[in-house]
Amino acid sequence: MDRAEYEVMKFSDDQNAGDYFLTSSDKIRFFLEDSVELVDGNLPDRPLSEITNKVGHALYDLNPVFRAFIQNEKMIKLSEEVGMVNPKIVQSMFIFKGANTGSEVPAHQDNT
């Protein structure tokens, strides 16, 4: 992805991050590590993998690679084998766990 097209939000930007997060269910959005400092509103000159916290939430629907993975026969069969009846995909994300990056995530419960 071209860096100029990289729409981002830092988790520490409270209200804006909340709105950005809450309206992301039908989009692919990028969330930066708290420690990232934007330079005049632009991303720093560092690899995106070092400054990104996660990418979500409609990857399963909008990204062809994720869609092919999650909707393949093996995943469907696995879902059935663990007892799921008519499962629905409502969210997907890629969480970065870089060796020298990342911020602490406090205890929380994910709900959909």
Confidence of residue 108 (pLDDT cuts 50, 70, 90): confident
Instruction: Say how many Å lie between the first and final Cα of the chain, rounded.
Output: 28
Please state, as a whole number, how many other Cβ atoms lie within 10 Å of the Cβ of residue 11: 17
Per the rule left: phi > 0, alpha: psi between -120 and 50, beta: everything else, 41 is: left
Backbone angles phi, psi at 44, to 5 degrees: -70, 160
Amino acid residing at 58:
A
pLDDT digits (tens, 9 = 90+) for 58-99: 999 999 999 999 999 999 999 999 999 988 888 888 888 777
The residue whose two tokens read 């100029």 is 4
pLDDT digits (tens, 9 = 90+) for 8-57: 666 555 555 678 788 888 988 888 888 888 888 778 888 888 888 888 88
Query: Cα–Cα distance between 91 and 34 in angstroms, integer?
Result: 23
The residue whose two tokens read 């996660």 is 54
- Looking at residue 14, its pLDDT comes to 58
Query: Cα–Cα distance between 80 and 29 in angstroms, integer?
Result: 30
- Looking at residue 50, its pLDDT comes to 85
- Looking at residue 31, its pLDDT comes to 84
